[in-house]
Amino acid sequence: MLSRLLAVVFGAVEFARPGSFVDYWMDLAVEDFGSVEVRPWVYTAARLEGALLVLWGLVGLARGRRRERTARIEREGTTVEIE
């Protein structure tokens, strides 16, 4: 569950600020970042990756909550009638 939450946080940052996100990681990966030119599509790909991370994280968190709720209902022996 923690990994899904972290995915949502990092994905949201990557989606909202792809330039800062890519530049930060490129600065860590490359010795002289000033001599490297990042192509424009990299920022679009980073934004897409951020959106997918947020989606993956939120779906996983929702499924986890649903499983917890189902387990609690089964433990308590409660039945829910839907009309």
Q: Provide the residue type at 67 as one letter.
A: R
Average pLDDT of each block of 10 consecutive residues along the chain (83 residues)? 90 95 90 86 96 95 77 67 60
The closest alpha carbon to 53, from 16, 83, 27, 26, belongs to 16
Output the pLDDT for position 79.
Answer: 59
Output the pLDDT for position 35.
Answer: 84
DSSP 16: H
Output the pLDDT for position 20.
Answer: 93
Hey, where are the domains in the chain? 2-76
Output the pLDDT for position 1.
Answer: 79
Burial pattern 4-43, b for ≥16 Cβ within 10 A else e, equals beebbebbebbbebbeebbeeeeeeeeeeeeeeeeeeeeb
Tokens of 74: 């089964």
